[in-house]
A = this chain, B = another copy of it.
Amino acid sequence: MINEKLPKIWYGGDYNPEQWEPEIWKEDERMFKLAGIDVATVNVFSWELNQPDEHTYDFTQLDETMDRLYKSGVYVCLATSTGAHPAWMARKYPDVLRVDVQGRKRKFGGRHNSCPNSPTYRKYSTLMAGKLAERYKDHPGLLIWHISNEYGGYCYCDNCAAGFREWLKERYGNLDALNKAWNTRFWGHTFYDWEEIVPPSELSEEWGGNRTNFQGISLDYRRFMSHSLLECYRLEYEEIKKHTPNIPVTTNLMGFYPELDYFEWAKYMDIVSWDNYPSLDTPVSFTAMTHDLMRGLKSGDPFMLMEQTPSQQNWQAYNSLKRPGVMRLWSYQAVARGADTVLFFQLRRSIGACEKYHGAVIEHVGHEHTRVFREVAELGRELQQLGDTLLDARTEAKIGIVYDWENRWATELSSGPTIALNYVNEVHKYYDALFQMHVESDMVSVEEDFGKYEIVIAPVMYMVKPGFAKKVEQFVAAGGTFVTTFFSGIVNENDLVTTGGYPGELRSVLGIWAEEIDALFPDQKNQIVMKRSWGSLEGPYECGLLCDLIHSEGAEVLAEYGSDFYKGMPVLTVNKFGKGRAYYVASSPEADFLQGLMKNLCEEKGIKPLLDAPVGVEVARRVKNGLEYLFLLNHNAEASAVEIGASERKDLLANAVVTGSVTVPGRGVVILESKPQS
């Protein structure tokens, strides 16, 4: 349980009373009660309020807020307010201001605006965290700490340059090692002095976002920036822990946010929390995959849904309303996949600046007679009814899908073979195939223990870090099924190619050699032609993007290319290795192929779908104390009937016993409690 003070699914969200007059605060109290809100995240952007100048700290308003909320039954997720530095600080200590990737020194503005290697920022943000912890350590309303806000963004200033050099010294020890890791003989880049190294910005090696001349330098800078921001987080964390060692600490992550290695971050977080902002056209399975990733950051631990909008966003191109029922449906989707909180941004809509058209529990109209508020209040009642039933429940997937931020950086920075490769999309294709079949999977890091899985899928495992190949071999030898794809096993952790033939260190377990990699134009396609029909796979199927030209070195060829000069070369192979099997998918296939492949692999390993549910109905499961909780999430606008089998289950929200066929209303949710079904 995150904090035993509040043994239920937390319900509430970001709250900014400092933007309002006291008469509004009373109204807030009244409406929080109506909505069943019991948690407020406060103090997110109040640095300048708490510290109006360098030498003055003033927590009068925060004291008032903490006390007022607690008195009215609302606990606090207390932010440290360091997500945006004060204007006076920017003026007095310009080192807090970032230099952007174009080399421009920024001025005061925005948020996420502090240089992570600024001595001033580090000093004062740590001081603030310490003062807050000391002051509120015994406050009865304090549930959890929320450090800064949505860390992100890189800086390229001189302090960062200096910090980069120190970090490099630590990593490489000497310039010889660094020059080798970056292959600096290329284009005569040898560094003879640490001071010659500059951050890879648009003024030196990079352009157009992820384009770079030197992958090694750019990759290390991403590592360094992720590390620098993490250091800022950790400085606050340590300071807080001095005062409140038992109160959990988090910071809100952003799903597949590209700039930070969240697997590394999660090591220093007591609980993962994240902000979920899908668009009207985000695939439901993409959101599900993101929840699973957040759960996977700490190997399956429950997480917090820290932010979602009750209805509308403001920063997308077209900010659709969440249709009736969708906010509830997506809230339960989070819970189904491991969230133990349902929190919103924001409790009351601000009236000025860029987020005033972002949805809120309390809209600009100010009263409770709105569709959005009614939906919020309905969910509030349900969550109270659910109590602690679901808290700490876990999932038990037999399939792990590998995702790795460093691998993503490396594939995105790659010059060639194609600009169309999107690592996250390729991962999602495999995730989606299982999702559509209602088969559970976990999103896991390359460091995860594979022993708990029957199947491990690592799409586009381009970068193979030390020990990974050995781990895969052991997993397969022991009976596991491993799946990987084209453009895998190419480089080591420094983006240096493993010579001797692709897929490098994975070649032995896969039993193939990839001689060439063809990049297809967007309108070019090849085909996957099965050598003989195999389970659900008949074909032919379309494939494209990249086509590895592979040779079997022991692997069985299951399918071949259907056209072009490599027609007849293998496109799908399986290699028996020890007691297990390793599959190689040499191109990027259409969805039908992947569903067939996943079906076959699950059958081989005896992995069954949670249910056989209609299209558009998501099924997920959490288990706890010998009971399983099955979530039926109907993303269709119309009702769907789901066959749940003959044994009786308890419908938690309807508080009824059901069996046989359950009808889930359009955009509706059913949670079924039962003994494990097999």
Q: Which residues of A contact B (CB under 8 A)?
A: 16, 18-19, 45-49, 52-53, 81, 83-88, 90-91, 102-111, 181-183, 185-193, 195-198, 200-205, 212-216, 280-281, 311-321, 323-324, 349-358, 363-366, 370-372, 414-420, 494-502, 513, 515-522, 549, 565
Contact = CB atoms under 8 A, between A and B. Distances in A.
Contact of A496 (B181, B188, B352, B495): B352
A416 B359 CA distance: 11
Contact of A351 (B46, B183, B353, B549): B183
Given A215-B353, A351-B497, A319 B519 contact: yes
B314 A416 contact: yes
Given A353-B183, A353-B213, A366-B499, A204 B415 contact: no
Q: State the 9 A-B residue pairs at the shortest beta-carbon distance, nearest first.
A: A183-B352, A109-B204, A314-B416, A357-B416, A87-B196, A354-B415, A351-B497, A186-B353, A109-B205
Contacts of A216: 352-353
Contact of A48 (B190, B280, B366): B190
Q: Tell me if A's interface is mostly helix, strand, loop or mixed.
A: loop
A418 B319 contact: yes
A499 B365 contact: yes
Contacts of A52: 190, 192
22 contacts: A88-B196, A91-B195, A102-B104, A103-B107, A106-B204, A109-B205, A111-B188, A111-B213, A183-B350, A186-B355, A215-B352, A215-B354, A216-B353, A317-B420, A318-B519, A321-B516, A352-B497, A355-B415, A357-B416, A365-B515, A366-B500, A371-B515
Contacts of A498: 364
B318 A420 contact: yes
A374 to B, nearest CB: 11
A100 to B, nearest CB: 8
A520 B320 contact: yes
Contact of A198 (B108, B200, B318, B363): B108
B519 A105 contact: no
A517 B311 CA distance: 10
A315 B415 contact: yes
Nearest to A420: B318
Nearest to A349: B497
Contacts of A313: 416
A83 to B, nearest CB: 8
A216 B311 CA distance: 25
A366 B48 CA distance: 61
A209 to B, nearest CB: 14
A365 B187 contact: no
Contacts of A319: 416-418, 519
A188 B49 contact: yes
B312 A48 contact: no
A102 to B, nearest CB: 7
Contact of A203 (B106, B182, B201, B501): B106
B190 A86 contact: yes
Nearest to A545: B318
A186 B19 contact: yes
A107 B203 contact: yes
Contacts of A18: 185
Contacts of A215: 352-354
A212 B365 contact: no
Nearest to A413: B354
A521 B364 contact: no
Contacts of A81: 188
Contacts of A200: 109
A473 to B, nearest CB: 21
A358 to B, nearest CB: 7
Given A314-B415, A324-B565, 12 more contacts: A49-B188, A83-B188, A88-B196, A107-B203, A107-B204, A109-B198, A181-B352, A187-B353, A315-B415, A318-B522, A321-B517, A371-B515
A353 B53 CA distance: 47
A202 to B, nearest CB: 8
Given A47-B188, A87-B190, A203-B106, A312 B416 contact: yes
Nearest to A359: B516
B188 A45 contact: yes
Contacts of A318: 417-420, 519-522
Given A353-B183, A365-B501, A501-B365, A416 B315 contact: yes
Contacts of A315: 415-416
Contact of A88 (B192, B280, B371): B192
Nearest to A45: B188
Contacts of A106: 203-204
A502 B495 CA distance: 55
Given A324-B565, A372-B516, A418-B317, A354 B213 contact: yes
B354 A521 contact: no
Q: Which of A46, A102, A203, A315 has the most CB of B within 10 A?
A: A203
A191 B501 contact: no
A281 B312 CA distance: 36
A366 to B, nearest CB: 5
A495 B351 CA distance: 8
Contacts of A204: 106-110
Contacts of A354: 212-215, 415
